[in-house]
């Protein structure tokens, strides 16, 4: 790989501003709080930060309902605060990515307030409007991800408008050229400020089917959620017509053309479609997005077979683009609960970090993963997430992964001097940064060790990948960059594991990664619980492993 762009193989640390650090005592994190903690983030050894929305918003969906794309909500600070944040991050060697929510706005956005007034105003066609059916019902059967119909009646126009998410998040009509131009102008505002990249929320939702055809039903045995629970009615349909339309490809080309006018910036698209891996491959072809990620590893399936199969499937489809992998974010249950049974475990946390950061592609790491945080149990009366409130108790929403970052073990975890917007779990205070800083065996120290070590391994950052066919619980593959080939193997269980290797000798093992080390002996690979092997192979050894013949 000769492309030296910063984002290839980068580890991107996701910051959820509401829960990172509060500096004004209102119980909600803010931009000055991020500035205050940037030295900590830089000390993790990551390459970039991705900041979730901080724009002007009524906060119905906590910032993903934007009322002004070009301003900072007073809850988070000011534009001047953002400028200071950007300058400090760059001084620390951190790239800065920001969320852009392009497919929809808040119902409080000036564009929508004008559009809803009549059918003949200048913004009348800027949103997706449709007449009622003859019986007064919505135009078709499309459903909202947050439950119920994706259509909301507007009496001022005597029409329905489309909302793929909350009713207060109306969908923009990207078929209108003025809408595309206005959206791209908003993107340009932040690129001109000097951001290094954009994380594009729900980027495959920009266009809808102009014929408004019904989505076909999905059989019960196919209702596997990717970012939503299978008991959500949204899972009852194939979403062929309300998102992922072919017109989106031309828009991605327009977006890329704009970004190519700036030096070394990157677009990372969040993709959730009926075949997210195929869409990732399509959306990251030349002239479109730089990177794409999906919910494929944000599931409950923690097995070598599933991880290997997912990555191999994408590798077969993605012949041009660059993937980005994540196992946690602000929308899903924390990985130590999903994949670790909810028990705090520094060895497992470090194994998951190393496994994720050894796959081909870039990586998004959600705040708190470096501490090995588990999902918080937020009682119903303390819930803030409208998604969780609507689907309680079968689905408890996203608040459990959004609780405040624990900096100290005091009652508010050093997060705020006021009353935090979500409760601070006692079990998280026991995993506070201040405690882990002084514990050489902590998840935090293991995270830092691995990140420092990974930076010196070009094969892990930009090399290609070739999987070995292994039995559970071992995940093994080779990463190769030019003449440098690493054999990488992980034991996904807490018990010792062994696998055969078709090698006569023992390749030299790499040290310094901080994980429990395995060994290669007499044609066998021995791995302790949550252990790993990183070994350097010569050309002959690589060929033997690829062919299975000595």
Q: Which residues of 174-200 are buried (b: 16+ CB within 10 A; e: fewer)?
A: bbbeebbeebbebbeebbeeebbbbbb
Kindly indicate whether the domain formed by 11-106+175-454 is annotated with CATH number 3.20.20.80.
yes
Q: What's the confidence (pLDDT) of residue 223?
A: 84
Q: What's the confidence (pLDDT) of residue 409?
A: 96
| Bond into 142 cis (ω within 30) | no
DSSP assignment of 149-198 equals BSEEEETTTTEEEE-SS-TTSPBB-TTSHHHHHHHHHHHHHHHHHT--EE
Indicate the SS3 state at residue 466.
strand
Q: What's the confidence (pLDDT) of residue 1?
A: 37
User: Contact 8/1 with Cβ under 8 angstroms?
Assistant: yes
**φ, ψ at 337 (rounded to 5°):** -90, -45
pTM metric for this prediction:
0.96
Rg for the chain (alpha carbons), in Å?
24
Q: What would the two tokens of residue 141 be?
A: 């059967």
User: Contact 354/513 with Cβ under 8 angstroms?
Assistant: yes
DSSP code of residue 336: H
Architecture of domain 464-547: Sandwich (2.60)
User: Contact 295/332 with Cβ under 8 angstroms?
Assistant: yes
Q: What's the confidence (pLDDT) of residue 230?
A: 73
User: Contact 460/358 with Cβ under 8 angstroms?
Assistant: yes
How far apart are alpha carbons 282 and 286 in whole angstroms?
A: 9
Per domain, the residue ranges of the chain are 11-106+175-454, 464-547
Q: What's the confidence (pLDDT) of residue 366?
A: 98
Q: What is the pLDDT along the chain (550 residues), one digit of tens a residue?
A: 346 799 999 999 999 999 999 999 999 999 999 999 999 999 999 999 999 999 999 999 999 999 999 999 999 999 999 999 999 999 999 999 999 999 999 999 999 999 999 999 999 999 999 999 999 999 999 999 998 999 999 999 999 999 999 999 999 999 999 999 999 999 999 999 999 999 999 999 999 999 999 999 999 988 876 666 777 899 999 999 999 999 999 999 999 999 999 999 999 999 999 999 999 999 999 999 999 999 999 999 999 999 999 999 999 999 999 999 999 999 999 999 999 999 999 999 999 999 999 999 999 999 999 999 999 999 999 999 988 988 898 888 899 999 999 999 999 999 999 999 999 999 999 999 999 999 999 999 999 999 999 999 999 999 999 999 999 999 999 999 988 999 999 999 999 999 999 888 889 999 999 999 999 988 899 999 999 999 999 999 999 888 865 4
How far apart are alpha carbons 470 and 43 in whole angstroms?
A: 36
Residues with catalytic function: 201, 270
How far apart are alpha carbons 282 and 320 in whole angstroms?
A: 9
């Amino acid at each position: 790989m000769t492309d030296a762009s910063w984002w290839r193989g980068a580890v991107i640390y996701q910051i959820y501003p509401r829960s990172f650090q509060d500096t004004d005592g209102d119980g909600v994190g803010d931009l000055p709080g991020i500035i205050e903690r940037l030295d900590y983030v830089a000390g993790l050894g990551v390459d970039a930060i991705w900041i979730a929305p901080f724009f002007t918003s009524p906060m119905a969906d906590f910032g993903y309902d934007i009322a002004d794309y070009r301003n900072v909500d007073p809850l988070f600070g000011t534009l001047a605060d953002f400028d200071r944040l950007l300058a400090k991050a760059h001084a620390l060697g951190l790239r800065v990515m920001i969320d852009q929510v392009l497919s929809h706005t808040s119902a409080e956005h000036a564009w929508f307030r004008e559009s809803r007034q009549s059918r003949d105003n200048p913004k009348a066609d800027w949103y997706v409007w449709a007449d009622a059916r003859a019986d007064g019902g919505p135009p078709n059967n499309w459903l909202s991800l947050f439950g119920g119909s994706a259509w909301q009646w507007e009496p001022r126009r005597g029409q329905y408008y489309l909302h793929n998410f909350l009713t207060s998040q109306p969908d923009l009509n990207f078929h209108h050229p003025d809408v595309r131009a206005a959206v791209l102008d908003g993107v340009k505002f932040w690129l001109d400020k000097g951001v290094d990249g954009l994380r594009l929320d729900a980027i495959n939702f920009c266009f809808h089917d102009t014929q408004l055809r019904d989505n076909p039903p999905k059989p019960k045995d196919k209702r596997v959620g990717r970012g939503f629970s299978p008991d959500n009615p949204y899972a009852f349909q194939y979403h062929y017509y309300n998102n992922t339309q072919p017109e989106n490809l031309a828009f991605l080309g327009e977006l890329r053309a704009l970004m190519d006018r700036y030096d070394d910036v990157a677009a990372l698209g969040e993709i959730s479609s009926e075949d997210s891996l195929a869409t990732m491959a399509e959306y990251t072809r030349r002239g479109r997005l730089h990177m794409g990620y999906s919910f494929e590893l944000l599931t409950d399936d923690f097995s070598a077979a599933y991880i290997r199969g997912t990555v191999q499937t994408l590798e077969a489809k993605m012949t041009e683009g660059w993937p980005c992998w994540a196992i946690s974010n602000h929308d899903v249950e924390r990985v130590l609960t999903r994949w670790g049974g909810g028990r705090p475990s520094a060895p497992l946390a470090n194994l998951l970090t190393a496994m994720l950061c050894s796959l081909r592609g870039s990586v998004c790491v959600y705040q708190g993963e470096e501490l090995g945080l588990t999902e918080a149990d937020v009682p119903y009366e303390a819930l803030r997430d409208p998604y969780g409130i609507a689907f309680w108790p079968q689905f408890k929403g996203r608040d459990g992964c959004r609780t405040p970052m624990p900096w100290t073990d005091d009652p508010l975890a050093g997060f705020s001097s006021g009353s935090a917007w979500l409760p601070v779990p006692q079990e998280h205070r026991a995993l506070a940064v201040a405690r882990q800083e002084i514990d050489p065996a902590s998840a935090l120290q293991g995270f830092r060790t691995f990140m420092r070590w990974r930076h010196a391994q070009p094969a892990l950052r930009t090399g290609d990948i070739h999987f070995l066919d292994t039995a559970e619980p071992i995940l093994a593959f080779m990463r190769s960059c030019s003449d440098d080939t690493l054999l990488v193997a992980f034991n996904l269980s807490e018990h010792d594991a062994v696998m055969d290797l078709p090698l006569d000798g023992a390749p030299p093992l790499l040290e310094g990664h901080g994980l429990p080390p395995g060994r290669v002996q007499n044609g066998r690979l021995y791995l302790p619980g949550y252990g790993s092997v990183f070994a350097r192979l010569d050309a002959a050894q690589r060929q033997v492993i690829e062919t299975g013949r000595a």
